[in-house]
Amino acid sequence: MDTTGILDEALQRLHTCGPERLGRLTNHAPMAAEALTAHGQAPSVHRWLDLYARKLEDLPPRVEPVTDANWRTALGDPRRAADWIGHFEREVAERPWREVLARWWPRLLPGLYGGSTHPVIRVGHAVRTLLAGEATGPRLAELAHGLGYWAARHRTVATPANLPAALDAAAALDAVPAVAVQDGGFPARLDRVTALPVWAGAEAPRPEEVPRRLAELVRAATHRYATHGHGEETMLVHAATAPNAVLRTLPALPRALWPASLRAAWTASAAVTAMYAPAAPVAYVPPGAFTPEEVFERALAHGDEHVIKLTDTALDVGDAPALAAALRAMELSTPLG
């Protein structure tokens, strides 16, 4: 991890900004900055932020403090984003961050689907940094911003009906039916997901099985992007990055919370798959053979925030099909510039 202080500087720079812009589009800068740092590109962070700065807005005004007495009424209210961030800043200042995370994870997990799954992804990046190194002030504040965004955008879903089971994650994603009407934004499409296949790996797993099952899901969703990403080059990234955020957070959570985390991650990944499914897959042949480091350098040169984050997840998976998915994202997405 970064020992130069660049990540902390970047986070301090970004914590004057809100978690969204235009009332609905997510601020990806903290996540991308963390990913760049994690892969040895800390010297490029501020230059990348300069390019991304036009997509940032100021932190919204506060309305009313969130407290132990009123938090339930504030949950899921995006107007309260700054209130929620302030609440978690106080929480992480007063008690160990793992304790805060363990207390709030089961409260927030049912609403993982809000904000197009970006809040849990932001939390996953923050937790990876905290697990890898010192719990500095900016890194704790980043966890507070991620949890606050999650609480403000908290959105539950109705339990989908069960379709026939699949034994492995790849087969289960292949069996996900596309929603009948593929238009509108994420919330409208999410309401149309009424049935999903049963993935055997997510059904009543023992806690010790969860990391392997989550890694299987992340691998399957990442591989699938290479042949299905043209369905929606940006949103289908989250079929892989959302469950990977949960996987990254597991080591900081009590094991009793792991099975429910796997089930929520599966529902999120499968729902995104259903919401943005292309008419048919296409074969994809990468433009060459590249090392993981070379693929990440290409992602940085491309600059798109979702490309950087999918490449970050692809490097976690670490095999050739995952790297091909990252290269495919670069071809499909518009470069930052």
Give, in order, the Cα–Cα distances in Å from 2 to each of 49, 108, 121: 17, 29, 20
- Mean of the pLDDT values across residues 252-266? 98
Give, in order, the Cα–Cα distances in Å from 93 to each of 30, 98, 99, 186: 20, 12, 12, 34
The answer, yes or no, to whether residue 7 has pLDDT greater than 90, is yes
At 89, the pLDDT band (50, 70, 90 cuts) reads very high
pLDDT top residue among 337 and 35: 35
Describe the crossing of helices 118-132 and 137-152 by its angle, rounded to 10 degrees.
160
So what's the pLDDT on residue 245?
98
**Distance from C-alpha of 304 to C-alpha of 315, rounded to nearest angstrom:** 17
Average pLDDT, the chain: 96
At 68, the pLDDT band (50, 70, 90 cuts) reads very high
- Mean of the pLDDT values across residues 111-115? 97
The answer, yes or no, to whether residue 222 has pLDDT greater than 90, is yes
Residue 205's identity, in one-letter code, is P
The answer, yes or no, to whether residue 1 has pLDDT greater than 60, is no
At 259, the pLDDT band (50, 70, 90 cuts) reads very high
At 201, the pLDDT band (50, 70, 90 cuts) reads confident
Q: Parse the chain into domains and list their residue ranges.
A: 6-152, 157-168+177-337
Q: Per residue in 127-143, pLDDT tens? A: 999 999 999 999 999 99
Calculate what percentage of the chain has a pLDDT beyond 90: 96
The answer, yes or no, to whether residue 3 has pLDDT greater than 80, is no
**Tokens encoding 111:** 């609403």
